[in-house]
Amino acid sequence: MRLDKLLANMGFGSRKEMKKFLKSGQVTVNDQVVKDGKAQIDPQHDIIRVSGEQIEYKEFVYFMLHKPQGYLSATEDLRDKTVIDLLEPEDQIYEVFPVGRLDKDTEGLLILTNDGKLAHELLSPKKHVPKTYYAHIEGKVTEEDVAAFKQGVTLDDGYVTLPAHLSIIESAPVSKISLTIYEGKFHQVKRMFASRGKKVTYLKRTAMGALELDPSLKLGEYRELTDDEREKLKNREGVEMNESRGTADS
Ligand code: URA
C-alpha cells in the first residue's frame, strides 16, 4: 500500500497533510528516509519509523470491552457518552465500531472492531451466534419460564422468539438467571421477560459466540483479543438451528 495512505490510516493526518509531513524527512522505511507518499510499502515486512520510533501498522483491530452502564453502543452521539469515549486516543485512530448493541443500561461483553466483514458475519441473523446474559429479574423465575423460553415466547410486536436456554441460578423475589439466545432483536432479553410479566433490573452480557468476557477486565476496561480468541470468533461464530423452530443443535 502507499506510504501516505498507511500513515493517514495510522492517524498521522490526512493524505494531503502527509505530503508536508513526509517532506520534513521524519519518516524512514527500512532505515532510509522516504519523502514520496506514493512509495509502496509492505506493512507486514517493512520497518517504518516516525521520528525514530517504529510504528506498528494493523489493518484490523479487535477489542474486548467490559461495557459499563451509561454508555451508548454507538460511535458518536450529540448527548450521551459512547463506548468509543472509553478508548485511549491511540486506539481511536482505528475507527472501530461496536459489533451489535447493548442497551445504555446493559453491562458486559462488547466487541469493537474495524473489520466490517467479521462484524457482518457475527450479526447475520442466519448465523445464530449465541449470546449469553446474566440478569436479575424482579419476580420469581420458574420452570414454566424455562419451558416457555425453550418453546419460544411472543414479544410485544408479535414476533415469536427462537428457542432460548434459560438457567435459574436463584429463584427468589429478585431472581438471578443466565440466558442464552441465538438472535438479537431490539431489547430482546427485556422483552422476553416482559412477555412473562417479569422485569429485568440488571443485565450483563457474559459471552458472544465462543468468546467469554475476560473476568479480569473491570467495568470500562478493554484489551485486544488474543490470536486464539480472534480465531474462535471467526471460526465458530454460530450454531446450526433447526429453522422449523426446533431446538438449537448445540
Ligand atoms: N437484550 C436486552 O434487552 N438488552 C440488551 O442490551 C441486550 C439484550
Which helix H or strand E contains 144, and what residues bound it? helix 143-151
- Domains in the chain and their CATH numbers? 3-54 (3.10.290.10), 58-250 (3.30.2350.10)
Enter the pTM of the model: 0.84
Which residue stretches of the chain have pLDDT < 70? 236-250
User: How much of the chain is in helix, strand and coil states, percent to nearest 5?
Assistant: 25, 30, 50
Q: For ligand 1, pick from 83, 131, 133, 193 the residue to mutate: most ligand atoms within 8 Å of CB.
A: 133
Q: What does the DSSP assignment read for 188-214?
A: HHHHHHHTTT-EEEEEEEEEETTEE--
The answer to whether 146 and 192 have CB atoms below 8 angstroms apart is: no
Residue nearest to atom 7 of ligand 1 (CA): 102
Using the mean position of ligand 1's atoms as its centre, give its distance from the Cα of residue 203 in Å: 7
Residue 194, pLDDT score: 98
Residue 247, pLDDT score: 47
C-alpha distance across the termini of the chain, in Å: 43
